[in-house]
Amino acid sequence: MDRRGQFAAILALTAAPFCRADGISEGDRSYALSALHASRKQLLDATSGLSRTQWRYKPAPDAWSIAEIVEHLALLEEQFPKILAEAMKTPAAPDRKLKNARAADEKILAMLPDRSRKAQAPEQFKPSGKFKDGPAAVAAFKAARERVLESMRKTQEPLREHFYQHPALGDLDAYQWYLMVAGHTERHVNQMLEVKASPGFPKK
């Protein structure tokens, strides 16, 4: 290898760490993927083996059925690419990067599943019977979640440097929007478990 080739090789090796530093860390990637996989499994476990009657049961006239809960989740996750794109359009703000980001991440994943904190879904994410039944809603959810997972697997964007307002949680960095998806799913899995535990829930 001539001197020019040696110099190019050295430059490539020394530049690589700086390129990675500008994007997402592998620790962050692994943490988000773990949360996304875990919450997907929780949903699939909670909806496994339900009968048509169980899917459609409502514990109160103004309550959501399990099928409607899954529809709500699918609707939100189908829109996640647009939400993320809006977050990444905001000006990069490296000076706003959280000093103790993991503690903030953990707080999001602890707060969202807490059903004692009530919230109203935006109109666009309210169930309206878009899917023919519960299993169809699950299929849509799984497809949308796979797109979220694939995005997290591949992204090299500086997600920690872009911030976007969440209606309940305030400003989140773009990375934390992935965690919001996971925590939001766990919140509604807890809602499904409440439906299944209600006195009138069909035995089959």
Q: Where are the domains of the chain?
A: 24-197
Q: State the pLDDT at residue 119.
A: 85
Q: State the pLDDT at residue 27.
A: 97
Confidence check: pLDDT of 81 > 60: yes
| Top-confidence residue, 69 or 3 | 69
| DSSP H helices in 48-158 | 52-56, 66-78, 80-89, 101-111, 134-154
Composition of the chain by helix, strand, coil, percent to 5: 65, 5, 30
Q: How confident is the model at residue 117 (pLDDT cuts 50, 70, 90)?
A: confident
Q: What is the four-CA torsion angle of 43, 44, 50, 52, rounded to 10 degrees?
A: 80
Q: How confident is the model at residue 149 (pLDDT cuts 50, 70, 90)?
A: very high
Confidence check: pLDDT of 124 > 70: yes
Rounded to 5°, angle at Cα 192 from 189 and 195: 160
What's the whole-number mean pLDDT along residues 192-198? 98
Confidence check: pLDDT of 110 > 80: yes
Q: State what percent of residues in the chain have pLDDT above 90.
A: 83
Q: What is the C-alpha separation between 9 and 164, in angstroms, rounded?
A: 39
Q: How confident is the model at residue 22 (pLDDT cuts 50, 70, 90)?
A: low
Q: What's the topology of domain 24-197? A: Four Helix Bundle (Hemerythrin (Met), subunit A) (1.20.120)
